[in-house]
Amino acid sequence: MKERNAATIRSIAEVLWVTPPEHYDAHSKMLVTPETDRTRHFDFRISSYQPKGYVARHSHTVQEQIYYILQGEGLMELDGERTVVRKHEYIFIPPGVEHAIFNTGLEDLVFFVITSPPTDEPIAEAAR
């Protein structure tokens, strides 16, 4: 990794795959997070779900997410409604929307995930 004034350049090959909680046959590389870089505003990762892989239904209190499909196809569930998603489609998920994604295809479903803010904790009110 090269660092220039808090900016970083890194190869995706340097980042290990992890399996986040409530993910099944679904793995991610945490590319830019508060733990890996000096960001305070977002989490950027690439995810790969094997056929039959999925994330359990969940929602976020304050976080917004964008998924951008790079490869494969699957079902995106938003508040109980399922839609097929494919390469070069994106999904915007506002806070409070229950969602899940399932790889129903025959190859890995690979997509970027951008989340802001990086944690789902409401911002504390300023001290009075």
Q: Is residue 24 part of a domain?
A: yes
Q: Which residues are 99's β-sheet partners?
A: 58, 78
- How many domains are there within the chain? 1
> Is residue 10 a contact partner of residue 42, using CB atoms and an 8 Å limit?
no
CATH of the domain at 59: 2.60.120.10
Which secondary structure element, helix H or strand E, spans residue 52, and what is its range?
strand 43-55
Give the model's pLDDT for residue 125: 46
pLDDT digits (tens, 9 = 90+) for 42-94: 999 999 999 999 999 999 999 999 999 999 999 999 999 999 999 999 999 99
Q: What is the mean pLDDT of residues 88-110?
A: 98
Distance between CA atoms of residues 115 and 94, nearest Å = 10
Structural domain that includes position 68: 16-36+46-116
pLDDT score at 126: 40
- The pLDDT of 6-31, averaged and rounded, is 95
Q: What are the tokens at 57? A: 């239904």
* 61 within domain boundaries: yes
Q: Compute the C-alpha angle 55/70/103, nearest 5°.
A: 30
More confident residue, 123 or 88: 88
Neighbours of 34 (CB within 10 A): 14
Residue 125 inside a domain? The answer is: no
Is the pLDDT confidence value at 5 over 90? Answer: no
Q: Is residue 1 part of a domain?
A: no
| 3 alpha-carbon distance from chain centroid | 24
Model confidence at 2, pLDDT cuts 50, 70, 90, reads low
pLDDT at 8: 87
pLDDT at 38: 85
The C-alpha atoms of residue 62 and residue 22 are separated, in whole angstroms, by 19
Residue 21 predicted with pLDDT over 70: yes
Residue 51 lies in a domain: yes
Is 95 within the bounds of a domain? yes
Confirm whether 111 is domain-assigned.
yes
41 within domain boundaries: no
C-beta neighbour count of 96 within 10 angstroms:
11
Q: Is there a contact between 113 and 33 (Cβ–Cβ < 8 Å)?
A: no
